[in-house]
Amino acid sequence: MKILVSACLLGEPCRYDGESKPNNSVISLKEKHILIPVCPEVLGGLKTPRIPAEVQGERVVRADGKDVTCEYNKGAQIALDIAKRAGISVAILKSKSPSCGNKQIYDGTFSRCLIDGKGITARLLEENGIKVINEQELTKL
């Protein structure tokens, strides 16, 4: 099976802080599956490292107040296009991310408080019939 995966979970240093979040359980899936890494934020034109951003309603705003919704939407669309071209039906995305979170995201106040919600890419993929799970839900594969 081909699986779309947040690149940071595979060890790519593409997070806002310039780090990665390698997950050995996700990485080990490459033994039986084809993993296709994506970082929607980088695909949308944002640099690494970058100022943190959080979802605020329908917008994505950086901690310094700059609106980066356009970049997040662009990256989400590119990730969806990659998934469609590859015939992907499932994605493993980084939890809590403003792009990739599928259950909870930060509340938009930069206070580290989580709320129920979805990141921009997770939402778009799900709206297009792609099952989205996070790195803690691998049993749902």
Taking the C-alpha atoms of residue 7 and residue 74, their distance in angstroms, rounded to an integer, is 17
Asked if residues 123 and 80 have their Cβ atoms less than 8 Å apart, the reply is: no
Q: What is this structure's pTM?
A: 0.96
Per-residue pLDDT of 18-73, as tens digits, reads 999 999 999 999 999 999 999 999 999 999 999 999 999 999 999 999 999 999 99
Given this model, what pLDDT does residue 124 score?
A: 98
Per-residue pLDDT of 83-124, as tens digits, reads 999 999 999 999 999 999 999 999 999 999 999 999 999 999
What is the Cβ-side half-sphere exposure of residue 58, based on CA atoms within 13 angstroms? 0
Given this model, what pLDDT does residue 93 score?
A: 98
Q: What is the C-alpha end-to-end distance of the chain, expressed in Å?
A: 10
Q: Are strands 59-62 and 53-56 parallel, antiparallel or unpaired?
A: antiparallel
